[in-house]
Structure 1
Amino acid sequence: MSIYKNIFLLFLLSLGIFTFSQEKKKFPNVENVLLNIKPDSKLDFWVLVHNHYGKGKEIKVSGTKKDYVPQFSGFNLRPGEDSFFYIVYSSGGKISYITELKDLKSFIGKIDNVDEAALSAVLEGYMIDEQFVDVAANYYEDKTNYYLDLGKITSTECPYQKKHFTLTVNKSSGIITNVKENGTYTEVYTKKCTNNPRLQKKQPEETPKETTPKKTPKKRK
Protein backbone atom coordinates (compact mmCIF):
# COMPACT_ATOMS: atom_id res chain seq x y z
CA MET A 1 0.00 0.00 0.00
CA SER A 2 2.94 2.33 0.73
CA ILE A 3 4.08 2.07 -2.93
CA TYR A 4 0.67 3.18 -4.19
CA LYS A 5 0.65 5.98 -1.61
CA ASN A 6 4.04 7.21 -2.79
CA ILE A 7 2.93 7.10 -6.43
CA PHE A 8 -0.20 9.06 -5.55
CA LEU A 9 1.82 11.70 -3.66
CA LEU A 10 4.24 11.97 -6.59
CA PHE A 11 1.29 12.46 -8.94
CA LEU A 12 -0.14 15.24 -6.75
CA LEU A 13 3.26 16.91 -6.57
CA SER A 14 3.74 16.81 -10.34
CA LEU A 15 0.19 18.11 -10.83
CA GLY A 16 0.93 21.01 -8.47
CA ILE A 17 4.15 21.88 -10.34
CA PHE A 18 2.28 21.76 -13.67
CA THR A 19 -0.51 23.98 -12.32
CA PHE A 20 2.02 26.44 -10.92
CA SER A 21 3.85 26.57 -14.27
CA GLN A 22 0.57 27.45 -15.98
CA GLU A 23 -0.03 30.48 -13.75
CA LYS A 24 -0.43 33.54 -15.94
CA LYS A 25 1.51 36.74 -15.40
CA LYS A 26 0.41 40.14 -16.63
CA PHE A 27 2.27 42.65 -18.76
CA PRO A 28 2.12 45.80 -16.58
CA ASN A 29 2.21 48.23 -19.53
CA VAL A 30 3.87 48.75 -22.91
CA GLU A 31 6.60 50.94 -21.39
CA ASN A 32 7.71 48.08 -19.17
CA VAL A 33 7.84 45.75 -22.17
CA LEU A 34 10.02 48.19 -24.12
CA LEU A 35 12.29 48.71 -21.09
CA ASN A 36 13.20 45.01 -21.15
CA ILE A 37 14.62 45.03 -24.69
CA LYS A 38 18.12 43.53 -24.80
CA PRO A 39 19.72 44.51 -28.13
CA ASP A 40 22.05 41.89 -29.62
CA SER A 41 24.37 44.47 -31.20
CA LYS A 42 27.10 46.14 -29.20
CA LEU A 43 25.95 49.72 -28.66
CA ASP A 44 27.61 52.81 -27.24
CA PHE A 45 24.27 53.80 -25.72
CA TRP A 46 20.56 53.64 -26.36
CA VAL A 47 17.68 55.80 -25.15
CA LEU A 48 13.94 55.07 -25.10
CA VAL A 49 11.78 58.18 -25.38
CA HIS A 50 8.03 58.45 -24.81
CA ASN A 51 6.33 61.46 -26.38
CA HIS A 52 2.93 62.08 -24.79
CA TYR A 53 0.81 64.93 -26.17
CA GLY A 54 3.87 66.72 -27.52
CA LYS A 55 6.12 66.29 -24.48
CA GLY A 56 9.08 63.93 -24.79
CA LYS A 57 10.39 62.02 -21.75
CA GLU A 58 13.38 59.69 -21.58
CA ILE A 59 12.19 56.56 -19.80
CA LYS A 60 15.38 54.55 -20.25
CA VAL A 61 19.04 55.48 -20.81
CA SER A 62 21.53 52.64 -21.28
CA GLY A 63 25.21 53.52 -21.61
CA THR A 64 26.81 56.95 -21.79
CA LYS A 65 24.32 59.18 -23.57
CA LYS A 66 25.44 61.73 -26.15
CA ASP A 67 23.51 64.64 -27.64
CA TYR A 68 20.84 63.69 -30.16
CA VAL A 69 18.06 65.38 -32.10
CA PRO A 70 14.54 65.01 -30.57
CA GLN A 71 12.14 63.28 -32.94
CA PHE A 72 8.60 64.44 -33.71
CA SER A 73 7.25 61.09 -34.88
CA GLY A 74 7.56 57.50 -33.77
CA PHE A 75 5.81 54.15 -33.35
CA ASN A 76 2.52 53.97 -31.47
CA LEU A 77 1.72 51.01 -29.22
CA ARG A 78 -1.55 52.51 -27.95
CA PRO A 79 -4.01 52.92 -30.84
CA GLY A 80 -6.19 55.99 -30.44
CA GLU A 81 -3.86 57.77 -28.02
CA ASP A 82 -1.88 60.88 -28.99
CA SER A 83 1.49 59.44 -28.03
CA PHE A 84 4.43 57.61 -29.55
CA PHE A 85 7.82 56.10 -28.72
CA TYR A 86 11.17 56.30 -30.43
CA ILE A 87 14.62 54.91 -29.76
CA VAL A 88 17.96 56.65 -30.16
CA TYR A 89 21.09 54.51 -30.28
CA SER A 90 24.73 54.82 -31.16
CA SER A 91 26.92 52.10 -32.66
CA GLY A 92 30.54 52.84 -33.51
CA GLY A 93 29.96 56.51 -32.82
CA LYS A 94 27.10 56.80 -35.33
CA ILE A 95 23.74 57.91 -33.95
CA SER A 96 20.60 56.30 -35.41
CA TYR A 97 16.89 56.59 -34.70
CA ILE A 98 14.04 54.07 -34.65
CA THR A 99 10.75 55.79 -35.37
CA GLU A 100 8.92 52.98 -37.19
CA LEU A 101 7.69 49.78 -35.60
CA LYS A 102 9.13 47.54 -38.33
CA ASP A 103 12.68 48.68 -37.47
CA LEU A 104 12.39 47.24 -33.97
CA LYS A 105 12.94 43.73 -35.35
CA SER A 106 16.58 44.26 -36.29
CA PHE A 107 17.20 46.28 -33.11
CA ILE A 108 15.86 43.48 -30.87
CA GLY A 109 17.63 40.71 -32.77
CA LYS A 110 17.33 37.30 -31.09
CA ILE A 111 14.36 36.85 -28.74
CA ASP A 112 15.88 36.87 -25.23
CA ASN A 113 12.82 37.15 -23.00
CA VAL A 114 9.02 37.19 -22.93
CA ASP A 115 8.87 40.96 -23.46
CA GLU A 116 10.79 40.68 -26.72
CA ALA A 117 8.52 37.76 -27.68
CA ALA A 118 5.50 40.02 -27.13
CA LEU A 119 7.09 42.78 -29.23
CA SER A 120 7.77 40.29 -32.03
CA ALA A 121 4.02 39.50 -31.98
CA VAL A 122 3.20 43.22 -32.06
CA LEU A 123 5.26 43.40 -35.26
CA GLU A 124 2.86 40.80 -36.67
CA GLY A 125 -0.20 42.97 -35.95
CA TYR A 126 -1.12 41.93 -32.40
CA MET A 127 -1.35 44.30 -29.46
CA ILE A 128 -0.66 44.40 -25.72
CA ASP A 129 -4.06 45.69 -24.62
CA GLU A 130 -3.57 47.48 -21.30
CA GLN A 131 -7.33 48.09 -20.98
CA PHE A 132 -8.12 44.36 -21.04
CA VAL A 133 -5.13 42.81 -19.28
CA ASP A 134 -6.91 39.62 -18.21
CA VAL A 135 -7.68 38.57 -21.79
CA ALA A 136 -5.16 40.40 -23.98
CA ALA A 137 -2.01 41.30 -22.01
CA ASN A 138 -0.75 38.29 -20.10
CA TYR A 139 1.37 35.16 -20.53
CA TYR A 140 2.76 31.96 -19.07
CA GLU A 141 5.74 29.87 -20.10
CA ASP A 142 7.40 26.48 -19.89
CA LYS A 143 10.87 25.24 -20.80
CA THR A 144 10.16 25.35 -24.54
CA ASN A 145 7.66 28.12 -25.26
CA TYR A 146 6.11 31.42 -24.28
CA TYR A 147 2.28 31.45 -24.39
CA LEU A 148 1.04 34.99 -24.97
CA ASP A 149 -2.56 36.19 -24.62
CA LEU A 150 -2.73 39.26 -26.86
CA GLY A 151 -5.36 41.28 -28.68
CA LYS A 152 -5.84 42.28 -32.30
CA ILE A 153 -7.98 44.95 -33.93
CA THR A 154 -10.01 42.96 -36.46
CA SER A 155 -12.31 45.74 -37.69
CA THR A 156 -12.00 49.51 -37.76
CA GLU A 157 -15.33 49.77 -39.58
CA CYS A 158 -18.69 49.62 -37.83
CA PRO A 159 -18.51 48.13 -35.28
CA TYR A 160 -14.92 48.68 -34.01
CA GLN A 161 -13.90 45.19 -32.92
CA LYS A 162 -11.09 43.40 -31.09
CA LYS A 163 -10.40 39.68 -30.77
CA HIS A 164 -8.00 37.92 -28.42
CA PHE A 165 -5.56 35.15 -29.25
CA THR A 166 -3.14 32.78 -27.54
CA LEU A 167 0.17 32.73 -29.40
CA THR A 168 2.82 30.07 -28.86
CA VAL A 169 6.33 31.47 -29.37
CA ASN A 170 9.26 29.04 -29.42
CA LYS A 171 12.02 30.20 -27.07
CA SER A 172 14.88 28.90 -29.21
CA SER A 173 13.78 30.23 -32.59
CA GLY A 174 11.55 33.15 -31.56
CA ILE A 175 9.02 31.97 -34.15
CA ILE A 176 5.26 31.97 -33.56
CA THR A 177 4.44 28.28 -33.95
CA ASN A 178 0.73 28.32 -33.13
CA VAL A 179 -2.12 30.83 -32.95
CA LYS A 180 -5.41 30.06 -31.19
CA GLU A 181 -8.33 32.46 -31.61
CA ASN A 182 -10.33 32.97 -28.41
CA GLY A 183 -13.13 35.15 -29.79
CA THR A 184 -14.28 38.77 -29.67
CA TYR A 185 -13.77 40.59 -26.38
CA THR A 186 -14.84 44.11 -27.28
CA GLU A 187 -17.17 45.54 -29.89
CA VAL A 188 -17.96 49.24 -30.02
CA TYR A 189 -20.64 50.99 -32.06
CA THR A 190 -20.31 54.73 -32.57
CA LYS A 191 -22.98 57.27 -33.43
CA LYS A 192 -21.79 57.15 -37.04
CA CYS A 193 -22.52 53.43 -37.30
CA THR A 194 -25.69 53.03 -39.32
CA ASN A 195 -25.82 49.40 -38.25
CA ASN A 196 -25.87 50.27 -34.55
CA PRO A 197 -28.73 48.17 -33.11
CA ARG A 198 -29.56 50.88 -30.58
CA LEU A 199 -30.09 53.45 -33.31
CA GLN A 200 -32.25 51.30 -35.51
CA LYS A 201 -35.90 52.30 -34.96
CA LYS A 202 -38.70 49.85 -35.32
CA GLN A 203 -40.89 50.41 -38.34
CA PRO A 204 -44.44 51.45 -37.33
CA GLU A 205 -46.99 48.72 -37.78
CA GLU A 206 -49.47 49.27 -40.60
CA THR A 207 -53.07 49.80 -39.50
CA PRO A 208 -55.42 47.18 -40.93
CA LYS A 209 -57.49 48.35 -43.85
CA GLU A 210 -61.28 48.48 -43.55
CA THR A 211 -62.92 45.46 -45.09
CA THR A 212 -66.61 46.44 -44.80
CA PRO A 213 -67.84 48.41 -47.83
CA LYS A 214 -69.03 51.92 -47.22
CA LYS A 215 -72.78 52.60 -47.71
CA THR A 216 -73.60 54.83 -50.62
CA PRO A 217 -75.99 57.60 -49.73
CA LYS A 218 -79.53 57.32 -51.21
CA LYS A 219 -80.52 59.80 -53.82
CA ARG A 220 -83.42 62.05 -52.88
CA LYS A 221 -86.41 62.11 -55.20
Structure 2
Amino acid sequence: MIKIAFRLTTFICMFWAILGYSQEKKKFSSIPNILQRISPDDKVDSWTLVYNSYGKGEEIKISGGKMSYIPQFSGFNLFPSEDSFYYIAYSLGGKINYVLDVEALKKFVGKIDTPQEAAILLASDGYIVDEEFKDLAGNYHEDQSNYYLDLGKVTSRECPYQKTHYTLTVNKATGLVSNVKDNGTYIELYNKKCANNPRLLKIEKKEEPKKDEPKKTTKRR
Protein backbone atom coordinates (compact mmCIF):
# COMPACT_ATOMS: atom_id res chain seq x y z
CA MET A 1 0.00 0.00 0.00
CA ILE A 2 2.84 2.37 0.90
CA LYS A 3 4.59 1.56 -2.39
CA ILE A 4 1.42 2.30 -4.35
CA ALA A 5 0.94 5.60 -2.52
CA PHE A 6 4.59 6.52 -3.15
CA ARG A 7 4.31 5.72 -6.86
CA LEU A 8 1.08 7.69 -7.14
CA THR A 9 2.64 10.70 -5.41
CA THR A 10 5.69 10.51 -7.68
CA PHE A 11 3.48 10.34 -10.78
CA ILE A 12 1.45 13.36 -9.64
CA CYS A 13 4.61 15.36 -8.94
CA MET A 14 6.06 14.50 -12.34
CA PHE A 15 2.76 15.37 -14.04
CA TRP A 16 2.63 18.81 -12.44
CA ALA A 17 6.31 19.39 -13.12
CA ILE A 18 5.83 18.62 -16.83
CA LEU A 19 2.68 20.75 -16.95
CA GLY A 20 4.45 23.68 -15.28
CA TYR A 21 7.44 23.28 -17.60
CA SER A 22 5.22 23.42 -20.67
CA GLN A 23 3.16 26.43 -19.50
CA GLU A 24 5.81 28.71 -18.03
CA LYS A 25 6.44 31.66 -20.34
CA LYS A 26 9.85 33.26 -20.43
CA LYS A 27 10.65 36.62 -21.95
CA PHE A 28 13.41 36.85 -24.50
CA SER A 29 16.30 38.99 -23.37
CA SER A 30 17.72 41.72 -25.59
CA ILE A 31 18.43 41.17 -29.29
CA PRO A 32 22.23 41.15 -28.70
CA ASN A 33 21.82 38.41 -26.08
CA ILE A 34 19.70 36.34 -28.46
CA LEU A 35 22.40 36.58 -31.13
CA GLN A 36 25.16 35.77 -28.66
CA ARG A 37 23.43 32.44 -27.92
CA ILE A 38 24.05 31.20 -31.47
CA SER A 39 25.80 27.84 -31.71
CA PRO A 40 26.67 27.33 -35.40
CA ASP A 41 26.45 23.81 -36.78
CA ASP A 42 29.49 24.18 -39.01
CA LYS A 43 32.77 23.78 -37.16
CA VAL A 44 33.94 27.34 -37.77
CA ASP A 45 37.42 28.24 -36.55
CA SER A 46 36.20 31.46 -34.97
CA TRP A 47 33.44 34.05 -35.35
CA THR A 48 32.73 37.60 -34.29
CA LEU A 49 29.37 39.30 -33.88
CA VAL A 50 29.50 43.01 -34.68
CA TYR A 51 26.89 45.67 -33.91
CA ASN A 52 27.04 48.75 -36.13
CA SER A 53 25.22 51.89 -35.02
CA TYR A 54 25.47 55.17 -36.96
CA GLY A 55 28.52 53.84 -38.80
CA LYS A 56 30.43 52.75 -35.70
CA GLY A 57 31.09 49.03 -35.21
CA GLU A 58 31.27 47.31 -31.82
CA GLU A 59 32.29 43.68 -31.29
CA ILE A 60 29.76 42.21 -28.87
CA LYS A 61 30.90 38.59 -29.05
CA ILE A 62 34.15 36.91 -30.04
CA SER A 63 34.14 33.11 -30.21
CA GLY A 64 37.25 31.06 -30.92
CA GLY A 65 39.77 33.87 -30.80
CA LYS A 66 40.43 37.24 -32.39
CA MET A 67 40.67 37.41 -36.18
CA SER A 68 41.26 39.99 -38.89
CA TYR A 69 38.27 40.92 -41.05
CA ILE A 70 37.02 43.83 -43.15
CA PRO A 71 34.37 46.05 -41.48
CA GLN A 72 31.02 45.76 -43.26
CA PHE A 73 28.59 48.55 -44.11
CA SER A 74 25.41 46.48 -44.29
CA GLY A 75 23.93 43.63 -42.31
CA PHE A 76 20.83 42.15 -40.70
CA ASN A 77 18.57 43.06 -37.82
CA LEU A 78 16.03 41.07 -35.84
CA PHE A 79 14.18 44.31 -35.12
CA PRO A 80 13.84 46.77 -38.04
CA SER A 81 15.98 49.87 -37.63
CA GLU A 82 17.34 52.34 -40.13
CA ASP A 83 20.33 53.39 -38.07
CA SER A 84 21.82 50.10 -36.89
CA PHE A 85 22.49 46.52 -37.96
CA TYR A 86 24.47 43.39 -37.08
CA TYR A 87 26.83 41.23 -39.06
CA ILE A 88 28.97 38.18 -38.37
CA ALA A 89 32.50 37.63 -39.60
CA TYR A 90 33.70 34.05 -39.34
CA SER A 91 36.69 31.97 -40.32
CA LEU A 92 36.12 28.57 -41.94
CA GLY A 93 39.02 26.60 -43.34
CA GLY A 94 41.25 29.65 -43.14
CA LYS A 95 38.86 31.79 -45.22
CA ILE A 96 36.97 34.82 -43.86
CA ASN A 97 33.24 34.85 -44.60
CA TYR A 98 30.42 37.24 -43.67
CA VAL A 99 26.79 36.89 -42.60
CA LEU A 100 24.99 39.99 -43.89
CA ASP A 101 21.30 39.03 -44.13
CA VAL A 102 18.76 36.88 -42.31
CA GLU A 103 18.90 34.07 -44.89
CA ALA A 104 22.66 33.76 -44.43
CA LEU A 105 22.11 33.98 -40.66
CA LYS A 106 19.63 31.11 -40.87
CA LYS A 107 22.21 28.95 -42.68
CA PHE A 108 24.91 29.94 -40.19
CA VAL A 109 22.73 28.87 -37.24
CA GLY A 110 21.85 25.52 -38.84
CA LYS A 111 19.85 23.12 -36.66
CA ILE A 112 17.56 24.73 -34.10
CA ASP A 113 18.86 23.90 -30.62
CA THR A 114 17.32 26.68 -28.50
CA PRO A 115 14.27 28.98 -28.49
CA GLN A 116 16.67 31.84 -29.28
CA GLU A 117 17.75 30.08 -32.46
CA ALA A 118 14.07 29.41 -33.26
CA ALA A 119 13.44 33.18 -33.06
CA ILE A 120 16.36 33.75 -35.42
CA LEU A 121 14.93 31.17 -37.82
CA LEU A 122 11.57 32.98 -37.83
CA ALA A 123 13.24 36.36 -38.44
CA SER A 124 13.84 35.22 -42.02
CA ASP A 125 10.02 35.20 -42.41
CA GLY A 126 9.59 38.69 -41.00
CA TYR A 127 8.77 37.81 -37.37
CA ILE A 128 10.40 39.95 -34.69
CA VAL A 129 11.13 39.89 -30.99
CA ASP A 130 9.50 43.18 -30.06
CA GLU A 131 11.56 44.45 -27.15
CA GLU A 132 8.97 47.13 -26.33
CA PHE A 133 6.09 44.65 -26.02
CA LYS A 134 7.61 41.41 -24.71
CA ASP A 135 4.42 40.33 -22.96
CA LEU A 136 2.71 40.14 -26.35
CA ALA A 137 5.50 39.65 -28.86
CA GLY A 138 8.72 38.66 -27.16
CA ASN A 139 8.34 35.52 -25.07
CA TYR A 140 8.25 31.74 -25.33
CA HIS A 141 7.54 28.49 -23.55
CA GLU A 142 8.34 24.90 -24.44
CA ASP A 143 7.52 21.29 -23.82
CA GLN A 144 9.37 18.09 -24.71
CA SER A 145 8.45 18.33 -28.41
CA ASN A 146 8.04 21.99 -29.33
CA TYR A 147 8.98 25.61 -28.77
CA TYR A 148 6.04 28.04 -28.61
CA LEU A 149 7.09 31.57 -29.50
CA ASP A 150 5.01 34.74 -29.17
CA LEU A 151 6.45 37.10 -31.77
CA GLY A 152 5.40 40.23 -33.64
CA LYS A 153 5.27 41.08 -37.31
CA VAL A 154 4.79 44.33 -39.21
CA THR A 155 1.61 43.59 -41.19
CA SER A 156 1.12 47.03 -42.75
CA ARG A 157 3.47 49.90 -43.51
CA GLU A 158 0.65 51.87 -45.10
CA CYS A 159 -1.99 53.88 -43.26
CA PRO A 160 -2.39 52.73 -40.59
CA TYR A 161 1.03 51.27 -39.75
CA GLN A 162 0.36 48.13 -37.72
CA LYS A 163 1.91 45.15 -35.98
CA THR A 164 0.26 41.80 -35.31
CA HIS A 165 1.33 39.22 -32.74
CA TYR A 166 1.45 35.49 -33.39
CA THR A 167 2.08 32.28 -31.49
CA LEU A 168 4.27 29.97 -33.57
CA THR A 169 4.91 26.31 -32.83
CA VAL A 170 8.39 25.11 -33.82
CA ASN A 171 9.16 21.39 -33.70
CA LYS A 172 12.38 20.71 -31.77
CA ALA A 173 13.35 17.68 -33.83
CA THR A 174 12.82 19.13 -37.31
CA GLY A 175 12.96 22.90 -36.76
CA LEU A 176 9.79 23.23 -38.84
CA VAL A 177 6.88 25.53 -37.99
CA SER A 178 3.84 23.31 -37.45
CA ASN A 179 1.30 25.94 -36.43
CA VAL A 180 0.84 29.72 -36.65
CA LYS A 181 -1.84 31.36 -34.51
CA ASP A 182 -2.87 34.95 -35.29
CA ASN A 183 -3.51 36.78 -32.00
CA GLY A 184 -4.57 40.05 -33.61
CA THR A 185 -3.19 43.57 -34.01
CA TYR A 186 -1.45 45.12 -31.01
CA ILE A 187 -0.16 48.34 -32.60
CA GLU A 188 -2.07 50.52 -35.02
CA LEU A 189 -0.66 53.96 -35.75
CA TYR A 190 -2.16 56.73 -37.83
CA ASN A 191 -0.54 59.98 -38.87
CA LYS A 192 -1.88 63.24 -40.27
CA LYS A 193 -1.32 62.06 -43.84
CA CYS A 194 -3.57 59.03 -43.39
CA ALA A 195 -6.77 59.54 -45.35
CA ASN A 196 -8.43 56.98 -43.06
CA ASN A 197 -7.21 58.55 -39.82
CA PRO A 198 -10.30 58.33 -37.54
CA ARG A 199 -9.18 61.32 -35.49
CA LEU A 200 -8.76 63.45 -38.61
CA LEU A 201 -12.16 62.32 -39.92
CA LYS A 202 -13.72 63.21 -36.58
CA ILE A 203 -12.21 66.71 -36.69
CA GLU A 204 -13.34 67.24 -40.29
CA LYS A 205 -16.82 66.06 -39.43
CA LYS A 206 -16.95 68.44 -36.48
CA GLU A 207 -15.82 71.40 -38.59
CA GLU A 208 -18.25 70.65 -41.43
CA PRO A 209 -21.24 73.08 -41.19
CA LYS A 210 -24.72 71.64 -40.85
CA LYS A 211 -26.87 71.79 -43.99
CA ASP A 212 -29.74 73.60 -42.25
CA GLU A 213 -27.46 76.05 -40.47
CA PRO A 214 -27.60 79.56 -42.11
CA LYS A 215 -24.31 81.07 -43.13
CA LYS A 216 -23.08 83.81 -40.86
CA THR A 217 -22.85 87.26 -42.44
CA THR A 218 -20.78 90.17 -41.27
CA LYS A 219 -22.78 93.36 -40.68
CA ARG A 220 -21.35 96.56 -42.06
CA ARG A 221 -21.43 99.60 -39.88
TM-score normalised by length of structure 1 = 0.86
Shift of 1:69: 0.6
Shift of 1:9: 9.6
Q: Which amino acid aligns with 1:87?
A: I
Which consecutive segments of 4 or more residues in structure 1 shift more than 3 A? 6-13
Matched residues in 2 for 1:162 and 1:104: separation? 24
Q: What is the aligned partner in structure 2 of residue 205 from structure 1?
A: 210
> What does 1:39-54 correspond to in 2, within 5 Å?
39-54=40-55
Secondary structure of 1:34's aligned partner = helix
Q: What is the aligned partner in structure 2 of residue 79 from structure 1?
A: 80
Q: Which amino acid aligns with 1:89?
A: Y
Q: Deviations over 1:17-42 (max 9, x none)?
A: 41343110001111111101100111
Instruction: Give the greater-gyration-radius structure (CA).
Output: 1
Q: Which amino acid aligns with 1:40?
A: D
> What does 1:17-36 correspond to in 2, within 5 Å?
17-36=18-37
Does structure 1 residue 124 correspond to structure 2 residue 129? no
Shift of 1:11: 5.1
Query: Percent of pairs identical after alignment?
Result: 57
Alpha carbon RMSD of aligned pairs, Å? 2.2
Shift of 1:84: 0.2
Shift of 1:14: 2.8
Matched residues in 2 for 1:44 and 1:12: separation? 45
Shift of 1:125: 1.5
Shift of 1:90: 0.5
Larger CA deviation: 13-22 vs 91-100: 13-22
Inter-CA distance 9–92: structure 2 relative to 1 (3 Å threshold): closer
Q: What is the aligned partner in structure 2 of residue 57 from structure 1?
A: 58
Matched residues in 2 for 1:62 and 1:92: separation? 15
Does structure 1 conserve the Cα–Cα contact (< 8 Å) formed by 2:43 and 2:92? Answer: yes
Larger CA deviation: 156-165 vs 12-21: 12-21
Higher helix share: 2
Matched residues in 2 for 1:136 and 1:44: separation? 35
Does structure 1 residue 91 correspond to structure 2 residue 92? yes
Q: Deviations over 1:39-98 (max 9, x none)?
A: 011111100000012211000000122211101111122224410000000001000111
Larger CA deviation: 15-24 vs 165-174: 15-24
Inter-CA distance 9–173: structure 2 relative to 1 (3 Å threshold): closer
Matched residues in 1 for 2:24 and 2:53: separation? 34
Shift of 1:12: 7.6
Q: Which amino acid aligns with 1:158?
A: C
Secondary structure of 2:125's aligned partner = coil
Q: Deviations over 1:122-150 (max 9, x none)?
A: 11111111111000000000000000000
In the alignment, structure 1 segments of 5+ residues that lack a partner are 210-221
Matched residues in 2 for 1:141 and 1:150: separation? 14
Does structure 1 conserve the Cα–Cα contact (< 8 Å) formed by 2:21 and 2:142? Answer: no
Q: Deviations over 1:93-125 (max 9, x none)?
A: 000111111111211111111111111111111
TM-score normalised by length of structure 2 = 0.86
